[in-house]
Amino acid sequence: MRKVMIAANWKMNTTPREAQTLVSQLLPALDGITGVEVLLCPPFISTVVVSELIKNSGVRLGAQNTYFEDKGAFTGEISPAMLAGMCQYVLLGHSERRGLFGESNQIVNRKIKAAAKHALNPVLCVGESLEDNDAGRTEDVLGAQLRQSLEGISIAEARGLVVAYEPIWAIGTGRAAGGAQANVTIGMLRRTLAGIFDEATAASVRILYGGSANGANIAEFVSQPEIDGALVGGASLKADEFVSMVKQASTAKG
């Protein structure tokens, strides 16, 4: 059984003080909700304060990115060795990293290997552009992203892997994919994972949907058999809405 995950990607939002306020609103409201793993991914600068605040809760902490070296002359970068012990997860290959900061599948691959070395579970993000979607290239694009990003990753390393399917055209646009459509695409991703690893590994990897997920559509996604939760951007910055999403996700599988 794959445990449903609702992950918050705060992106470049919240000062440390605002992060503290948001977490202090979330924690009491999330207390007692079962069957969902809640993951918060604040900006790096708030990692320490958030990890202190959530340490006696079941809430998990993730980073939004990492570099692939452990230490050295890499000004401005944060290493997996620095995140290990504080974070359990790290988002890798987000389309904003790929599109705005030039991250290739090869870079994402190095980052996944570095994260695995430090027992950080990668949340590998994949997604197609509107142009690729319109041209019927979704399967090819996503397949290449998965295969190249996961090249040389062992089944043991893949055990903690989470994949997030985030169609670029749905991110921050208010135009979410339909639940049924996302379910078909995520089923295809699972078959690709079976080809890369094996059936058992593919059946155990959680695959989330992301892209304009919110309180009004979360149940439509999580109730789908292939969809194991959501990676939430904008709606995760509103405590009430995010809590409502977690609550709905806790009952959506029936």
Residues 26-55 that bind ligand 13P (CB under 6 A): none
Site track 83-122 with ligand 13P (rule: CB under 6 A), x = hit = -----------x----------------------------
Binding flag, residue 211, ligand 13P (CB under 6 A): yes
Catalytic residue among 37, 128, 157, 166: 166
Tokens describing residue 66: 């990492």
Residue nearest to ligand 13P (CB): 233
9 vs 14 by CB, closer to ligand 13P:
9
Is residue 94 annotated as a catalytic residue, yes or no? yes
Taking CB under 6 A as the binding criterion, the range among 25-33, 79-87, 138-146, 233-241 that sits at the site for ligand 13P is 233-241
Contacts of 15 (CB under 8 A, 6+ apart): 46
Q: At what angle do helices 179-196 and 138-149 cross, to 10 degrees?
A: 40
- H/E stretch holding 60: strand 60-63
Query: If we measure between CA atoms, which residue out of 94, 32, 31 comes closest to residue 62?
Result: 94
Q: What is the rounded CA–CA span in Å between residue 160 and residue 157?
A: 7
Distance between CA atoms of residues 132 and 145, nearest Å:
13
Task: Give the Cα separation of 42 and 119 in Å (integer).
Answer: 19
Residue 116 or 125: the one with the smaller Cβ distance to ligand 13P is: 125
Shortest reach from residue 15's CB to ligand 13P, in Å: 19
Active site residues: 94, 166
Q: Which residues bind ligand 13P (CB under 6 A)?
A: 9, 94, 166, 171-172, 210-213, 231-235
